[in-house]
Amino acid sequence: MKDNYLRIGVISSTHGVHGEVKVRPTTDDIRRFDDTEEVILSYPDGRREKHSVSSVKYFKNQVILGFSDVTDMDRAYTLRNAEILIDREHAIPLDKGEYFIGDIIGLSVYDEYDRFLGKCTDVISTGANDVYQVTGQDGKSLLIPAIKSCILMVLPAEGRMKVHLLPGLEDL
């Protein structure tokens, strides 16, 4: 497990003149913002700030957030591109066999014969199922569907995943 925080969104722009921001959610349950009282904003330069959420609205596929200490558009503008993090203990509980994307990315991936395939570098959400992008030591990417017949074992605490490669998958 990476750190004690999970990303639930990224601030994309300001909204209005009273300090609200538009958020691109990165969580499966967009309504999870309803129960979010406090967040950590993580900036590209590594800084982190704690903020209290004062309002939550929804518009199309975006979330409009207000923070108690951000009351004007100029201050809201400085929050752009910040990742919105929550403490792992406030995460929505997962069902058996479900994992947080942040716990999947970075895992070492092996096939059922213990051949090292590379590291999981991205999780791509599709309509049907997620797809794990595995980047090998040679820089080539392999796309593995996150389905039971392909994902044999996920062990985040050990930093590894075991997969079954469907015929022809390595040839793509």
pLDDT confidence bin for 52, thresholds 50/70/90: very high
| b/e sequence 71-103, b meaning 16+ C-beta within 10 Å | eeeeebeebeebbbbbeeeeeeeeeeeebbbbb
pLDDT of 113: 95
pLDDT confidence bin for 141, thresholds 50/70/90: very high
- Domain 5-88 in CATH 3.30.365.10? The answer is no
pLDDT of 1: 40
pLDDT of 163: 96
* The pLDDT of residue 92 is above 60: yes
| b/e sequence 26-55, b meaning 16+ C-beta within 10 Å | ebeeeebbeebeebbbbeeeeeeeebebee
Q: Which helix (H) or strand (E) holds 73?
A: helix 73-77
Q: Are 39 and 85 in contact (CB under 8 A)?
A: yes
156: nearest Cα among 124, 123, 128, 126:
123
pLDDT of 27: 84
Domain chopping of the chain, boundaries:
5-88, 101-164
Instruction: State both tokens at 119.
Output: 């590291």
The CATH code belonging to domain 101-164 is 2.30.30.240
pLDDT of 26: 86
The mean predicted confidence, pLDDT, of the chain is 91
* The pLDDT of residue 2 is above 70: no
Question: Burial of 109 by CB count in 10 Å (0-12 exposed, 13-18 middle, 19+ buried)?
Answer: buried
- Percent of the chain surpassing pLDDT 70: 97
The predicted-structure confidence for 93-140, as pLDDT tens digits, reads as follows 888 888 888 889 999 999 999 999 999 999 888 878 899 999 999 999
Q: Are 72 and 60 in contact (CB under 8 A)?
A: no
